[in-house]
Structure 1
Amino acid sequence: MAPATVYRNATVFTGDAAIPPRESFAVQEGRILAVGDLATVRGAAGSDAREIDLGGAFAAPGITEGHAHMLMLGEALSKVQLRDAATVGEVQERIAAARAAQPDAQRVTGVSWRFDIFAEGERPTAAMLDAVVADVPVLLDANDLHSCWVNTAALEAMGITRDTPDPVGGEIVRDERGEATGFLLETAAVKYAWGYLDRVASDADRDRYLATAFDAYVATGVTGASEMSFGHADLAAYRRVLDRDGRLPFPVNAHWLLTASGDLETDLAEVAEVARLRDEVAAQYGDAWLRIVGVKFILDGVIDACTAAMRAPYANGALPGPIWEREFALPVAVAADAAGLQFALHAIGDEASTIALDMVQECIRVNGPDAHRRPRVEHLESVADDTIARMAALGVTASMQPVHCDPAVLDNWQAVLGDERADGGFPWHKFRDAGVRLALGTDAPTAPHEAADNLFIALTAKSALERERAAYHPERVFGPEEAVEAFTLGTAYATKRDHEAGRIAAGYRAHVVVWAANPLTDAPETLLGSSARLTLVDGEVAYRAAE
């Protein structure tokens, strides 16, 4: 057996907010050997252990990213970045510059434009993009990744005409003549824009996207991820890594993205296929690195585009229905649950989260109670008090993303709600008070993937993007210990890996991050822009910051 390694002179957060920090820990053969005072840890490690002085740094369990889109993040990092573009003109300038810089490129892609760059009542159009790039397709994902803004060449490349039907749960926005305007909402963006990009991408492209995402995450202290848009192309990319290396850079827990078809038999057949693939992957690779743990339902859209399912109308009078109607959502959830598939339920509007809990309750009614079910609801941006109480009673985890309520991206969000709901979003404190388990993540690339900036927002309710912004309801913020727990042990619990991850405790896999700042004692502002100093996966160095 290889000698142990003792990490000493540190503030060691074990993953449990109720346990005071320790001063050292030891790693051997990929597992935590001991944690505690230095004498105790040295005694467990033995005389032949090597020692590493962490210089008083803060160490914690590695972050399990609570909500990730791995290939999409890797791809997004190579796109034209638009999150900080303040006007339509600035978007146009960046797209034109990208085209000029790569005149041989077959298309221009961008990501993260914000709805508040448009004048009141204005929406994205192909003409706005045609004015600067008309010769190749241009496809720009919105900040929330629930809509896509495209030019005329992209509409033609995707095969969209006036006769192209809207898919279930989506819309090809059209003008008064019935012609597509260049704005695709919800499943229309998924089917046509993403489908087109998927067709033109090569396996080498996807392998590069996946490697880029892993590299980006380990640099910010992530040692595990909940993949929330898994599909056949993703599985093939992961298999290529596993076949080549026998492992992944860190463990991934995948939720297969179900598409609402409007036909129950089709939906049930997809659930059966996911269960088959889960078993096949487990038999071939085991579950140490990749698990198809469940399925994901996107129950509604987003508030910014007025496509989230709400109990009351938006300020403009719109009241859209859900993407998954109850007549399909409930039986498909029951089938997935019976197959042992955990479900993650995207629900941003208060009506969507009501449907989500109806699905959980139906599974309990039909399939019976099950302590290992661990259903989770994703996002919960506008949620009713009665829903929070039901989540506590049903044991449902709230998977939320502080970066989604960065004040810099809330102007349009608040405006389209237009009433008291605009000031009642993201009620972390109500979940905590009700005893609902919380798992925090980023939902990258719909938001920045950096863990330290995400933690800063959780601690302050301030903006990591525009420092001069006032905090959005700071009464909601987390205490430092409970925030770090929600990023580590909370997310490990949500992914059903809390028996091996989320803690620095004897016997656990040695997934550890040493931070550049101490969130327990330093001013939260010191977190901004910081990264990991050291990231360990199974005790091996996955990332080390340059001195």
Structure 2
Amino acid sequence: MSTTIYVNAVVFTAEPDGRTEESFAVTDGVVSAVGSVDDVRATAPGATEVDLGGRFISPGVIDSHTHLASFGTALGKAQLRDCRTLDDIRERLLRWKEANPEAPRVLGGGWLFDAVGDTHPTAAMLDEVLPDIPVYLDANDLHSTWLNSAALQEAGVDRDTPDPVGGEIARDSSGEATGLLYETAGRKYAWDFLDSISTLEDRIRSLRRAFTAYLASGVTGVTDMALTEPEIEALRTLVARDGRLPFPVTGHILMIAESDARANLNQVDRATALRDELERSGESEWFRISGVKFIMDGVIDAKTATMCCPYADGSNTDPIWDADRMKPVAAAADAAGLQIAMHAIGDRTSEIAIEVLEYCSAENGSGIRSRRHRIEHLESVTDGTIRRMADLGAVASMQPVHSDPAIMDNWKAVLGDERQERGFPWHKFRESGVPITLGTDAPTAPHEALPNLYIALTGGSSLSPGLPPYHPERAFTPAEALTALTAGGAYAGYMENVGRIRPGFRANFIELDVNPLDTDPRELLGAEVIATHVHGECAYSAATDHADKN
């Protein structure tokens, strides 16, 4: 056995009491002791020692809601999140095309609805500058896809193309597609087409980019929240080639809402079979299927999230998965031991999610609190839903980066009433004792852990720090937020031996150049991850990274 003792540090353990220690030991990739320097030294006399120079040490961040492959792909696209006008978007796309002259199509992501103006995006807006090459642009929230005319033609979207369950093709008065695909229409007609022309090696390159970016951000584990069969194939291929992944991944298989009830149940059977196959093969040490993901509604920005009361313009929308369609499918998943994760952004949708969990409990007689079923996002939610979540032990999986004031203007405008000031009620979840985990939902938002932590601590903007914060009284304390980012992600993801610096847990930890427990939160925006360790080994070093870039 080989033991290394780390001394001269502020060690945040992520234990329930929020305590810090000054030293810890790692033996063969596992934490073997935590405490004072003298106590830790006593456990391994003569062990190698590393002086950390007073650095802050935390368990590695677990991004509990991400989309690995699409995040890695997005890193190579035109980045549009900071574009404030249509002209900004078009200029950014032209620059990307100039930088990628051999690309057969222009790919972009991150555009915001309010950057386009009062009207929704159209193909004609893109055709003005890029008429001859297909253009596919994912919205910031990934719930709408904007195509130019060449892309509509390439993907086969025209006046005769039907709207899928839970989706819509924007059309003009004559029925012609105008360029915007909402919700499942974007996945079915744009994403699935692009997937069909991508290769296994394309997907593997995307995954490697995502892993590299995450390690540099201090992430040592993720839960992938919408796995498809091609993405599963790519992850398994990486495990086969390398014998491991850069860090452990748990995943939820995306459930596609079909009109045929048997087809929906078949998806549960497939998820169960894949989970069992990974367990038998031993791949689950690095890649494990833990559950299924239901995208129950859309997003507030596009007015596709289902609300208890209409939007400011009087519109509303039906859920993608209504209670009648979802209950038997969710009950089958629960009975199979699969964790249920439900995308629910609108306040009515989260009520339906609770109804579904209550149905599963009654139908299966299961210990529902122990199942750790999850509701994702919860941007607009009633007090009654929060109380019922506490009763059920349901996990609140939320993303502070989605409340960055820099992207909130349209969110507020479409609600138009007091609801625009009642969003993201983190404090109510804490007060009710609901288990909490914090992620990023990359690539719908920046993936970096420290800016995400900054927003959790302040309600402020990491994109435009000068903006007023959104209800800072709802923010987390540093210990609360760090715990939700680490131990909270482990709990929500059924990662039983990571997320804390505790004897017997995997030595997944990070070194920071600031102490979030006592520094001004603004320091986090310029802070750096000095090193990221996975299973006791250094997986990322800022010093090496800087040397490689120089």
Range class of TM-score, shorter chain? over 0.9
Per the alignment, residue 114 of structure 1 pairs with: 112
String of CA shifts for 1:338-396, please: whole Å, max 9, x gaps: 11110110000001101111111011001113243110100000000000000001100
Distance 1:119 1:287 in 2: 47
Per the alignment, residue 475 of structure 1 pairs with: 473
String of CA shifts for 1:180-210, please: whole Å, max 9, x gaps: 0000000000111111110121111111100
Check if 1:452 corresponds to 2:450.
yes
Pick one of 299, 302, 305 that aligns with 1:302.
299
State the shift of 1:144 in Å.
Answer: 0.3
Which amino acid is the alignment partner of residue 82 of structure 1? L
Matches within 5 A, 1:361-400: 361-370=358-367, 371-400=369-398
Pick one of 255, 263, 266 that aligns with 2:263.
266
Distance 2:514 2:186 in 1: 39
Q: Is the 8 A contact 1:99 1:133 kept in 2?
A: no
Per the alignment, residue 193 of structure 1 pairs with: 190
* Cα distance change, pair 286–110 in 1 and its aligned pair in 2 (3 A): closer
Q: Structure 2: which 5+ residue stretches go unaligned?
A: none
State the shift of 1:325 in Å.
Answer: 1.4
Per the alignment, residue 287 of structure 1 pairs with: 284
Matches within 5 A, 1:104-143: 104-120=102-118, 122-143=119-140
State the shift of 1:17 in Å.
Answer: 4.7
Matches within 5 A, 1:53-92: 53-92=51-90
Which amino acid is the alignment partner of residue 65 of structure 2? H
Q: Is the 8 A contact 1:24 1:35 kept in 2?
A: yes
Which amino acid is the alignment partner of residue 481 of structure 1? A
Per the alignment, residue 488 of structure 1 pairs with: 486
Q: Is the 8 A contact 1:14 1:22 kept in 2?
A: yes
Other structure's SS at 2:257 match: coil
State the shift of 1:255 in Å.
Answer: 0.2
Distance 2:525 2:115 in 1: 25
Per the alignment, residue 435 of structure 1 pairs with: 433
Distance 1:208 1:137 in 2: 22
Q: Is the 8 A contact 2:400 2:440 kept in 1?
A: yes
Per the alignment, residue 509 of structure 1 pairs with: 506
Distance 1:287 1:89 in 2: 47
Instruction: Return 89-98 or 438-447, whichever deviates more.
Output: 89-98
Which amino acid is the alignment partner of residue 96 of structure 2? A
Distance 2:397 2:97 in 1: 38
Distance 1:516 1:440 in 2: 22
Check if 1:14 corresponds to 2:13.
yes
Which amino acid is the alignment partner of residue 311 of structure 2? Y
State the shift of 1:425 in Å.
Answer: 0.2
Distance 1:478 1:61 in 2: 18
String of CA shifts for 1:43-85, please: whole Å, max 9, x gaps: 11221x1111111111011111110100011000100000000
Other structure's SS at 1:287 match: helix
Other structure's SS at 1:109 match: strand
TM-score by length of 1: 0.98
Pick one of 450, 461, 464 that aligns with 2:462.
464
Distance 2:277 2:284 in 1: 11
Check if 1:31 corresponds to 2:30.
yes
Which amino acid is the alignment partner of residue 68 of structure 1? T
Distance 1:287 1:206 in 2: 20
Per the alignment, residue 420 of structure 1 pairs with: 418
Per the alignment, residue 51 of structure 1 pairs with: 49
Distance 1:284 1:15 in 2: 32
Q: Is the 8 A contact 1:7 1:53 kept in 2?
A: yes
Matches within 5 A, 1:326-345: 326-345=323-342
Matches within 5 A, 1:211-230: 211-230=208-227
Which amino acid is the alignment partner of residue 303 of structure 2? C
Which amino acid is the alignment partner of residue 541 of structure 1? C
State the shift of 1:286 in Å.
Answer: 4.2
Check if 1:41 corresponds to 2:40.
yes
Other structure's SS at 2:370 match: coil
Check if 1:316 corresponds to 2:317.
no
Other structure's SS at 1:445 match: coil
Distance 2:439 2:366 in 1: 28
State the shift of 1:101 in Å.
Answer: 2.8
Instruction: Return 102-111 or 140-149, whichever deviates more.
Output: 102-111
Distance 1:9 1:137 in 2: 56
String of CA shifts for 1:137-174, please: whole Å, max 9, x gaps: 10000000000111000001110110000000000000
Distance 2:18 2:157 in 1: 57
Instruction: Return 87-96 or 527-536, whichever deviates more.
Output: 527-536
Q: Is the 8 A contact 1:172 1:183 kept in 2?
A: yes
Q: Structure 1: which 5+ residue stretches go unaligned?
A: none
Q: Is the 8 A contact 2:30 2:507 kept in 1?
A: yes
Q: Is the 8 A contact 1:137 1:152 kept in 2?
A: yes
State the shift of 1:105 in Å.
Answer: 1.5
Distance 2:537 2:9 in 1: 18
Other structure's SS at 2:272 match: helix
Other structure's SS at 2:266 match: helix
Q: Is the 8 A contact 2:236 2:287 kept in 1?
A: no
Which amino acid is the alignment partner of residue 391 of structure 2? A
* Cα distance change, pair 139–286 in 1 and its aligned pair in 2 (3 A): closer
Distance 2:199 2:9 in 1: 45
Q: Is the 8 A contact 2:85 2:117 kept in 1?
A: no
Distance 1:403 1:529 in 2: 17
Distance 1:75 1:93 in 2: 21
Which amino acid is the alignment partner of residue 452 of structure 2? N
Distance 1:64 1:333 in 2: 26
Which amino acid is the alignment partner of residue 164 of structure 1? T
Distance 1:538 1:119 in 2: 49
Distance 2:78 2:16 in 1: 40
TM-score by length of 2: 0.98
Q: Is the 8 A contact 2:370 2:393 kept in 1?
A: no
Distance 2:100 2:471 in 1: 44
Which amino acid is the alignment partner of residue 519 of structure 1? P
Distance 2:351 2:279 in 1: 33
Q: Is the 8 A contact 2:170 2:179 kept in 1?
A: yes
Q: Is the 8 A contact 1:17 1:481 kept in 2?
A: no
Distance 1:503 1:411 in 2: 37
Instruction: Return 284-293 or 132-141, whichever deviates more.
Output: 284-293
Other structure's SS at 2:371 match: coil
Other structure's SS at 1:528 match: helix
